[in-house]
Amino acid sequence: MAQQAQPLPYGVGRTSRTWVAWAVLLAALAIAGWYGWSREITEGMIVTGLRNIGPMGGATWGLDVAFVVYWVGVSFAGITVAALIRLANLTALKPIARMAEALTVIALVLAAFAVMYDLGQPFRGIVNLFHYARPQSPFFGTFTLVISGYLFASLVYLYLDGRADAAELAKVPSRLQWFHRLWAAGYRGTPAERARHDRTAF
């Protein structure tokens, strides 16, 4: 029996004048941000006012670095909430755990963007990372160990946790059915698969 799409509650997915106004405002802010970033790429970090302490003034700590700490902290909060729900086996809060896992991944991606933005010229910085990488450097540890390793582990955890739901969604005809089948990767929910899943995702 074919399933009919139901409208989402609270006006989700509908547009209004307020929605359009917010969209225009955020688009303008995004354009201004891209313009500022293009100046930073071409002229360097000097345009942000960040300098070493000395007669030139400026600050050695700014929003670029603060955003790295902030987004990594948000990611830790997300994974902590998800882990506590799994460890305590709070079935009623499982949907919140899924949202917390997704929040962790998004926050880590934004933290990586903040690190690249802080370089001033991120493309040159990433290339030089492979040529002049020093394990004792704070940048090396922040970008490669904390963000990259943590992001990979969070993606694996989110993927494993969503396989069962993806397998159920793959049975429903939709435009995203191919994506759900790819995510499920042959998962059928047999007792052996569920036991293996519980061991992997605790």
Q: What are the residue boundaries of the structural domains of the chain, listed by start? A: 60-160
- Nearest Cα to Cα of residue 107 among 69, 64, 158, 54: 69
Rounded Cα distance, 69 and 55, in Å: 28
Who contacts 75 (Cβ-Cβ below 8 Å, separation ≥6)?
Answer: 103, 104, 105, 107, 108, 111, 150, 154
Residue 32 confidence (pLDDT) = 93
Beta bridge partners of 50: 59
Cα angle 135, 138, 143; round to 5: 85
- Nearest Cα to Cα of residue 108 among 139, 146, 82: 146
Q: pTM (2 decimals)?
A: 0.68
**Measured over all CA atoms, what is the biggest interatomic distance in the chain, rounded to whole angstroms?**
75
What pLDDT digit, counting tens, does each position of 152-182 carry?
Answer: 888 888 888 788 778 888 887 878 888 888 8
Rounded Cα distance, 117 and 197, in Å: 38
What pLDDT digit, counting tens, does each position of 92-147 carry?
Answer: 888 888 888 889 999 988 888 887 777 766 777 777 777 777 777 776 776 677 77
Rounded Cα distance, 110 and 104, in Å: 10
